[in-house]
Amino acid sequence: MRFVGIDPSTKTGFVAMDRYGNIQVQKELKGIGAVDPKRIVTLTDEIMRHIQPGDVICIEGVPFDTQRAAQAGWIHGSIRNALFRSKFSYYEATPNQVKKFVNVTGWVGDIGSKKRLTGKDKKKAVAEAVIEHYGFINKNDNIVDAYVLAQIAFALWTRKTYQSYQEEVVQAILNPVKKAK
């Protein structure tokens, strides 16, 4: 059994670890070329070549603030369709849940003078939090996010968390609040 994290984008982070936390795969997958649909189709195929029977998969949800919403939706949909067609189930964690799992709020500073983390500062905060929580280091932020997703998959499967904020993420994924119509 492996725990797999997938951070979908044109450069997709992919991490698979065993039940002891040993990394078996850590890669950034890109597909072939720079022109769609070939790039997205080959990226999806590449992801599926790394998936194995018995994998517990956690995939990051579509970000709401992306500049390329249509492309993000296409990539996310393509990966989910391939998983579904191959009869793989998966959990989905929102981008905010990924950050929260390592105690990154997206803000720094004291109450009354907080500053929102954006871009590279947010990615740096997540990378530093992952080092602090797990000792995992990788310069590629897509792989770092995929690693957190693999840790979330592990926590979802084992129901074992170490911090209250991690337990909140697990419960929110397992018991999502339904929106009123």
Mean pLDDT of 22-48: 96
Q: How many whole angstroms separate alpha carbon 16 and alpha carbon 151?
A: 10
Measured over the CA atoms of residue 41, residue 78, residue 151 and residue 133, the dihedral's sign is positive
| 180 within a domain of the structure (yes/no) | no
Question: Is residue 65 very low, low, confident or very high in pLDDT (cuts 50, 70, 90)?
Answer: low
* pLDDT (0 to 100) of residue 67: 63
* pLDDT (0 to 100) of residue 35: 92
Q: Reply yes or no on whether the pLDDT at 69 is more than 90.
A: no
* pLDDT (0 to 100) of residue 177: 87
Q: Number of C-alpha atoms within 13 angstroms, CB side, residue 14?
A: 22
The model carries a pTM of 0.94
**Residue 59 identity:** I
3-state secondary structure of 164: helix
| CATH assignment of the domain containing 92 | 3.30.420.10
Question: Is residue 125 very low, low, confident or very high in pLDDT (cuts 50, 70, 90)?
Answer: very high
- Work out how many domains the chain is built from and give that number: 1
* pLDDT (0 to 100) of residue 119: 84
| 35 within a domain of the structure (yes/no) | yes
Q: Number of C-alpha atoms within 13 angstroms, CB side, residue 48?
A: 18
* pLDDT (0 to 100) of residue 142: 97
Mean pLDDT of 83-100: 96
- Domain that residue 89 falls in: 2-174
* pLDDT (0 to 100) of residue 118: 84
| 168 within a domain of the structure (yes/no) | yes
- Model confidence pLDDT, tens digit, residues 149-167: 999 999 999 998 889 999 9
| 179 within a domain of the structure (yes/no) | no
Q: Which two tokens stand for residue 100?
A: 């929260």
| 102 within a domain of the structure (yes/no) | yes
| 181 within a domain of the structure (yes/no) | no
**Angle at 40 (CA atoms; ends 169, 34), nearest 5 degrees:** 120
* pLDDT (0 to 100) of residue 66: 62
Count helices and strands (H / E) in the chain.
6, 7
